[in-house]
Structure 1
């Protein structure tokens, strides 16, 4: 009787068996070879999983399952990045406590992940909102504080004029509050900061010792943005004060024709009485305060600015007085809040100079010939000779840089400097739903850390968590929680009311997975030494700057503190492409192109969804969803299912398919390791075609196919394994091996041409001699050889061509 493929029944059956058997629990036997596979833990939203989630989870599940079959003790964990803005906003809007929202969302996500058959070790599940977890987040913060790497500073925040609350950058859309649509302005507030800049060089150096895909390394390096150049002082005419700037191109100093300062620069306030157009400058400052840093620094935007009437600067290398402008493209948070402008050799400066009719002086010759810098922005000046530059004239760029720095230092007007684009990390949120910062403020003792035995400092479980109307955290209104005693002097003190950002819990979660139930440490030294570093970490490309940088920073700090055994947390880091809607656009409710994975599982089965997500296209590239593609993957699995009907009792691999079997094992094994999941599946599809073409499949051929396919489609293959009585569980078997010699074809099919036109195809031995190949070719087209043969050509493995006359 034909067995019908019923995914729902099969998948529920095997998910229960795996749960009961704790099939994928990592062992505490540290004598075994280990493998730590990690995916970014999700933010559990109310919407549940979308079809983008299964792509990376399935990819690393394939690696984890293969590693177990190769004899490794595998850690493949899952947890929840559950603090954060969306939950709090949902809670405020619907009057449901964030704790309840989080609990419901986690339950929904876990059900969905379970239904997809992932081999996560659920005994190691973590949740960033669990006090037993964030106790150690707070502990790490105290370590940073005691090391001088956590401090308070005045920093601008996004302030919604209607909600009366500070917003994260992602909540500001086109200068307006995402939630209410009101105007957002910049407001200065005292914030906790982490001194990540202290670790800039270590974070760069660490990239030399890890296996990250190149675009991930590049994004890290660009974000840190190390450059070498010089700091130069431009005197303000008639004053003792100077405008200090940083430039990577001190060799172009003779080309400076104006200066630009940030709207927030303190000199505006200091010299307010001497600025003749102060009202105009003040109006521009207000205008700039309504823009985010991103909007202000966007290269393509229209250049705006106000010339300061009453103040000028002096170019220190030639003594020329030059105007000072205020423009919002200069940020006070980057560099010194002032720049020198060389419009001949910088596109942005050139556009600004052209708009406001300022002089443009070329100081580096173009290697591509003369350029009219007043007509076209001239920016290619990495090489060339200096002109219009006094004592630098005739020097090459590299030589001029050295000479000008020597001059600046000799004249005491500048110095060589290494600079970074990286800024210290703003670590405060004026929110309720986050980790409390374990610091109290005492008028006598200042900022005082909580003793470690008082951790975790738990969030107060209160009814009201609505934002305040003065920009403070909702915790500030909870006076019974805020008012406390100073751990240092015993006098009255107040708790810090800002909470940590969502980045906090995700900056060390990979460490907790190694020993998630430890109450004495974030993880035991033995567990950390065994499991770390993570062997393979996959996540979204959008997280390869901040999250990756922040977690590397925390880990490197903990290494310096001798808490962790290795300097880098992740040995390998890869990224996946996004899954788009069928129309090729990003999935969103407003576009009506969202695909719910539950619907695919209900209609086609989890194995079909897993197979399709791996077959949809090159893993690192974005790909458009296709319902036809889903149906095609279901048909593929049904063909695998029906193979059981043509299995023979023949042992080993058949003579006809032995080479194909070894080739397929080699290809699938290699492709699973190099993110080429689509071509691995294509190879198995091709092998199945060969089985059906032969009309049979041996027990060993079918057994090997099931093992190769198991990491992709684990439920169905496990069921077929049981039906075929192969013994034991498929997930406990060994990964198949291949013999290199047997991957080489013993026979090849070649074309036989007469005068360049194909007249036949023949099969010949792969190692046949030229003479025998030509003889076999001539025999195959004997009836076409009616003229005089003038040439015989053999291209090994490809073709025989007989050239004749007449």
Structure 2
């Protein structure tokens, strides 16, 4: 056999798979469906090792499930709009469209070179008008329903990217893309009312338990952040109206001594108007509003505030409570107002200490007394109420319910549920995105673009600015239009949609990728969704994954879909590291996939990525590791080469006729045990590394047995079956080499169309076992016995062993302990 020319072999089989459309299916007629999907990439450059690992995992799942008899849908596309592609294009001085489509061509060729089993006939690119046309339709449907709205609001502004960011896109006060410090600005923006689905998004996480990593479920629960408590009204002194707070600690209401407002609170201007503090408070608010909101929420933030000059009234004590504006209160949580209970909240305690505000103890540990004058920290544990009128002596947890009932009865408050989740800001002041389909008319106001005029296409004949600012506002050919309502002059919206809108529904569009009459074929889409297995990074836990869940529910309610969740099972793969750090161009620690494929072949690169670590763990890149993976494939190649003259196409785990020798039975047992282990490892657990390890053990066993079995009566059959099993089990991991050797063995059906082997439990039974023999717990020998040997038979064999008998001379056997199939221990004195 010729040397292992992986370049020629891999190109050969990739051409065959593409020519025969091996991985394409008709979703409308498929049965026993299985939808496997990896998160699609941004086409902002070339694929990296993180891509290779992600897509190799998905490809093994797809190939394995196909061999298990499923009609597998495994598409690929491009998350082509947004900042990554636009910024890269600007950096390289080319138009984002040209940059994006050239990168798509490059990355598509790279993925095909890896031999991934994608149905390329379903390929989509989100920057294509035939894709985002439907997204614009969804926007209009949501707008009519009140699920999309426009308002002036404080927003996260990235000065580096010149655009607004959603809350989820701000990480530790910095832009998730460029790491610039995020500023707070007030702008007119488009929002999606994701909060309308907060309760369902939270409740349905329970339906994903077992299918999604618990870590992701926990992150989403925290981000949605449901709190159950009370809204309580504190009447303003000498003014109409009230300050409304949301609290989960109504049991501390009697201890509220002052009020803290967020600087953004709409009451602030009214409260300070005409007071001596007006200018100073306004300047303080301006300074705090421009602070990083994450810094403002940090526990170690130095608490600062200013007195507004106004008071409100505690509804149960009648106490006059001074109203402060405080830097640690955020408008995005609750009502933006906090009843301050400094004796029982540490932030309030610190604030009160700084501004010499009073403490009122209303909860004490059972049997203890707290002196406010001696407290050095807030008491925040449960306890017994004191100084709380009719509730004195009541357990604090029970008092929550009792005080809630009292407040409702007197009309002073109402039970309420609050969520940390905020509505999704989808306006982006950038060029490379889907246009928002509305116009502004001086006579008619905001006017939706009629659906029969969609898509509103992004103009491609514009000059992109080097600083990233959008050229759309100055593109008259785009901006100037006609009002659909009155026919008068109008202006198009020049904000584009957040790129996460495109990735929130793409998984459903694959199933109708070429349908220009509708976004989805309901009969097909609802038969295939939710995606059976979704694969991607943990970094999208509260970005893409939360948005996709929301979009699925919103599209369901518009009649497009009939499912509640987009992804039934989720696998979050670990990162690829080099010298303990995440691979990054900026760090200069990149391993180029193309270079590795050129040196070792795609099969080797795939095998290493799948063998070096479990998929959910980080993978440390290792030159020795990839060389080891290559050596293993060379061993498989040589094994078939050395046995080529006796191997026949009998298939994996083939039935063998004739009486087998012990060596033949042992290899057959190892073969079937390998299939058993690999099947268990791949069935839903996706423990690829241990499946490959089992395969390596079988190859080792073949090398040890091949010379002896070559000359036995049944040896060639046993060897042929075991080699066929090696290639069949190896094929999802290293498909090109496996197909090539399969063909050279004489098989006429491709491995990709060959069923996964079924092991025979009878073949796993050992004919003989080796039993360790001890004397007084010390190893003195070992004996070979039939696997079915009884305890009496094992005792007899152990005592008859010459070396054991020598250690028994002159001694009395007290007892013989038998551990079935493992050891015999002779106790003597």
The answer for the alignment partner of 1:664 in structure 2 is 674
Local SS of the residue matching 2:816: strand
Indicate how the Cα distance of structure 1 residues 494 and 53 shifts in structure 2: closer, same or farther if over 3 A, else same: same
Local SS of the residue matching 1:698: helix
The answer for the alignment partner of 2:41 in structure 1 is 42
Indicate how the Cα distance of structure 1 residues 289 and 764 shifts in structure 2: closer, same or farther if over 3 A, else same: farther
Please report how far the alpha carbon of residue 97 of structure 1 lies from its aligned counterpart in structure 2 after TM superposition.
Answer: 1.0
Q: Provide the rounded CA distance (Å) in 1 between the counterparts of 2:159 and 2:497.
A: 23
In structure 1, the gaps of 5 or more residues are none
Please report how far the alpha carbon of residue 189 of structure 1 lies from its aligned counterpart in structure 2 after TM superposition.
Answer: 0.5
CA contact (8 A) 1:236 1:242 kept: yes
440-449 or 132-141, which deviates more: 440-449
- The one of 175, 184, 187 aligned to 1:186: 184
Correspondences of 1:122-521 after superposition (within 5 Å): 122-159=120-157, 166=164, 185-210=183-208, 211-273=211-273, 275-299=275-299, 301-308=300-307, 310-353=309-352, 363-365=362-364, 374-375=375-376, 378-381=379-382, 384-466=383-465, 473-521=470-518
The answer for the alignment partner of 1:783 in structure 2 is 806
Indicate how the Cα distance of structure 1 residues 22 and 395 shifts in structure 2: closer, same or farther if over 3 A, else same: same
Local SS of the residue matching 2:232: strand
Indicate how the Cα distance of structure 1 residues 276 and 560 shifts in structure 2: closer, same or farther if over 3 A, else same: same
In structure 2, the gaps of 5 or more residues are 657-663, 708-717
Please report how far the alpha carbon of residue 505 of structure 1 lies from its aligned counterpart in structure 2 after TM superposition.
Answer: 0.8
Please report how far the alpha carbon of residue 421 of structure 1 lies from its aligned counterpart in structure 2 after TM superposition.
Answer: 1.2
Please report how far the alpha carbon of residue 237 of structure 1 lies from its aligned counterpart in structure 2 after TM superposition.
Answer: 3.7
Indicate how the Cα distance of structure 1 residues 366 and 790 shifts in structure 2: closer, same or farther if over 3 A, else same: farther
TM-score under structure 1 length normalisation? 0.92
481-490 or 110-119, which deviates more: 481-490
Correspondences of 1:523-602 after superposition (within 5 Å): 523-581=520-578, 583-602=579-598
Q: Provide the rounded CA distance (Å) in 1 between the counterparts of 2:588 and 2:625.
A: 19
Indicate how the Cα distance of structure 1 residues 793 and 190 shifts in structure 2: closer, same or farther if over 3 A, else same: same
Q: Provide the rounded CA distance (Å) in 1 between the counterparts of 2:397 and 2:269.
A: 39
Please report how far the alpha carbon of residue 205 of structure 1 lies from its aligned counterpart in structure 2 after TM superposition.
Answer: 3.2
Indicate how the Cα distance of structure 1 residues 338 and 539 shifts in structure 2: closer, same or farther if over 3 A, else same: same
Q: Provide the rounded CA distance (Å) in 1 between the counterparts of 2:389 and 2:173.
A: 46
Please report how far the alpha carbon of residue 413 of structure 1 lies from its aligned counterpart in structure 2 after TM superposition.
Answer: 1.5
Indicate how the Cα distance of structure 1 residues 143 and 173 shifts in structure 2: closer, same or farther if over 3 A, else same: closer
- The one of 609, 622, 627 aligned to 1:631: 627
The answer for the alignment partner of 1:679 in structure 2 is 690
CA contact (8 A) 1:750 1:761 kept: yes
Q: Provide the rounded CA distance (Å) in 2 between the counterparts of 1:661 and 1:182.
A: 57
Indicate how the Cα distance of structure 1 residues 86 and 659 shifts in structure 2: closer, same or farther if over 3 A, else same: same
Please report how far the alpha carbon of residue 125 of structure 1 lies from its aligned counterpart in structure 2 after TM superposition.
Answer: 0.5
Indicate how the Cα distance of structure 1 residues 182 and 144 shifts in structure 2: closer, same or farther if over 3 A, else same: closer
CA contact (8 A) 1:430 1:474 kept: no
Q: Provide the rounded CA distance (Å) in 1 between the counterparts of 2:473 and 2:451.
A: 23
Please report how far the alpha carbon of residue 564 of structure 1 lies from its aligned counterpart in structure 2 after TM superposition.
Answer: 1.5
The answer for the alignment partner of 2:699 in structure 1 is 688
1:71 corresponds to 2:69: yes
- The one of 720, 735, 753 aligned to 1:699: 720
Q: Provide the rounded CA distance (Å) in 1 between the counterparts of 2:68 and 2:357.
A: 69
The answer for the alignment partner of 2:711 in structure 1 is none
Indicate how the Cα distance of structure 1 residues 253 and 430 shifts in structure 2: closer, same or farther if over 3 A, else same: same
Please report how far the alpha carbon of residue 519 of structure 1 lies from its aligned counterpart in structure 2 after TM superposition.
Answer: 0.7
Please report how far the alpha carbon of residue 340 of structure 1 lies from its aligned counterpart in structure 2 after TM superposition.
Answer: 2.5
Q: Provide the rounded CA distance (Å) in 1 between the counterparts of 2:521 and 2:176.
A: 43
Please report how far the alpha carbon of residue 273 of structure 1 lies from its aligned counterpart in structure 2 after TM superposition.
Answer: 3.6
Please report how far the alpha carbon of residue 591 of structure 1 lies from its aligned counterpart in structure 2 after TM superposition.
Answer: 2.6
The answer for the alignment partner of 2:777 in structure 1 is 756
431-440 or 477-486, which deviates more: 477-486
Indicate how the Cα distance of structure 1 residues 642 and 254 shifts in structure 2: closer, same or farther if over 3 A, else same: farther
1:616 corresponds to 2:612: yes
CA contact (8 A) 1:230 1:247 kept: yes
- The superposition leaves residues 555-574 of structure 1 with CA deviations (integer Å, 9 ceiling, x where unpaired) of 11221222113222222222
Q: Provide the rounded CA distance (Å) in 2 between the counterparts of 1:126 and 1:395.
A: 63
Q: Provide the rounded CA distance (Å) in 1 between the counterparts of 2:792 and 2:48.
A: 61
CA contact (8 A) 2:818 2:824 kept: yes
- The superposition leaves residues 501-539 of structure 1 with CA deviations (integer Å, 9 ceiling, x where unpaired) of 001110110111101000100122232133222111111
85-94 or 490-499, which deviates more: 85-94
Please report how far the alpha carbon of residue 741 of structure 1 lies from its aligned counterpart in structure 2 after TM superposition.
Answer: 4.5
Please report how far the alpha carbon of residue 169 of structure 1 lies from its aligned counterpart in structure 2 after TM superposition.
Answer: 7.1
Q: Provide the rounded CA distance (Å) in 1 between the counterparts of 2:3 and 2:365.
A: 74
Indicate how the Cα distance of structure 1 residues 130 and 179 shifts in structure 2: closer, same or farther if over 3 A, else same: closer
Q: Provide the rounded CA distance (Å) in 2 between the counterparts of 1:622 and 1:585.
A: 10
CA contact (8 A) 1:646 1:695 kept: no
Indicate how the Cα distance of structure 1 residues 577 and 178 shifts in structure 2: closer, same or farther if over 3 A, else same: closer
216-225 or 117-126, which deviates more: 216-225
CA contact (8 A) 1:192 1:428 kept: yes
In angstroms, what is the RMSD of aligned CA positions?
Answer: 2.9
Please report how far the alpha carbon of residue 407 of structure 1 lies from its aligned counterpart in structure 2 after TM superposition.
Answer: 1.1
183-192 or 645-654, which deviates more: 645-654
- The superposition leaves residues 225-266 of structure 1 with CA deviations (integer Å, 9 ceiling, x where unpaired) of 222111112234443332211112222223434432212122
Local SS of the residue matching 2:49: coil
Indicate how the Cα distance of structure 1 residues 621 and 147 shifts in structure 2: closer, same or farther if over 3 A, else same: same
Please report how far the alpha carbon of residue 549 of structure 1 lies from its aligned counterpart in structure 2 after TM superposition.
Answer: 1.6
Q: Provide the rounded CA distance (Å) in 1 between the counterparts of 2:732 and 2:808.
A: 54
Correspondences of 1:89-128 after superposition (within 5 Å): 89-128=87-126
Local SS of the residue matching 1:66: helix
Q: Provide the rounded CA distance (Å) in 2 between the counterparts of 1:178 and 1:215.
A: 20
Please report how far the alpha carbon of residue 84 of structure 1 lies from its aligned counterpart in structure 2 after TM superposition.
Answer: 0.5
Indicate how the Cα distance of structure 1 residues 162 and 493 shifts in structure 2: closer, same or farther if over 3 A, else same: same
- The superposition leaves residues 662-708 of structure 1 with CA deviations (integer Å, 9 ceiling, x where unpaired) of 22112211212212111111111122222222235611111111111
509-518 or 183-192, which deviates more: 183-192
Indicate how the Cα distance of structure 1 residues 19 and 272 shifts in structure 2: closer, same or farther if over 3 A, else same: same
CA contact (8 A) 1:427 1:501 kept: yes
- The one of 37, 53, 56 aligned to 1:55: 53
CA contact (8 A) 2:362 2:385 kept: yes
CA contact (8 A) 1:468 1:474 kept: no
Indicate how the Cα distance of structure 1 residues 165 and 776 shifts in structure 2: closer, same or farther if over 3 A, else same: same
CA contact (8 A) 2:159 2:180 kept: yes
683-692 or 265-274, which deviates more: 265-274
Please report how far the alpha carbon of residue 380 of structure 1 lies from its aligned counterpart in structure 2 after TM superposition.
Answer: 4.5
Indicate how the Cα distance of structure 1 residues 521 and 695 shifts in structure 2: closer, same or farther if over 3 A, else same: same
- The superposition leaves residues 255-286 of structure 1 with CA deviations (integer Å, 9 ceiling, x where unpaired) of 43443221212232212245544454344333
Local SS of the residue matching 1:514: helix
Indicate how the Cα distance of structure 1 residues 439 and 37 shifts in structure 2: closer, same or farther if over 3 A, else same: same
CA contact (8 A) 2:303 2:347 kept: no
- The superposition leaves residues 730-768 of structure 1 with CA deviations (integer Å, 9 ceiling, x where unpaired) of 111111112344445454444322222223344444443
Please report how far the alpha carbon of residue 168 of structure 1 lies from its aligned counterpart in structure 2 after TM superposition.
Answer: 6.8
508-517 or 306-315, which deviates more: 306-315
- The superposition leaves residues 264-314 of structure 1 with CA deviations (integer Å, 9 ceiling, x where unpaired) of 122322122455444543443333233333333234x42331231523343
Number of residue pairs matched by the alignment: 797
Q: Provide the rounded CA distance (Å) in 2 between the counterparts of 1:339 and 1:405.
A: 17
- The one of 789, 799, 803 aligned to 2:823: 799
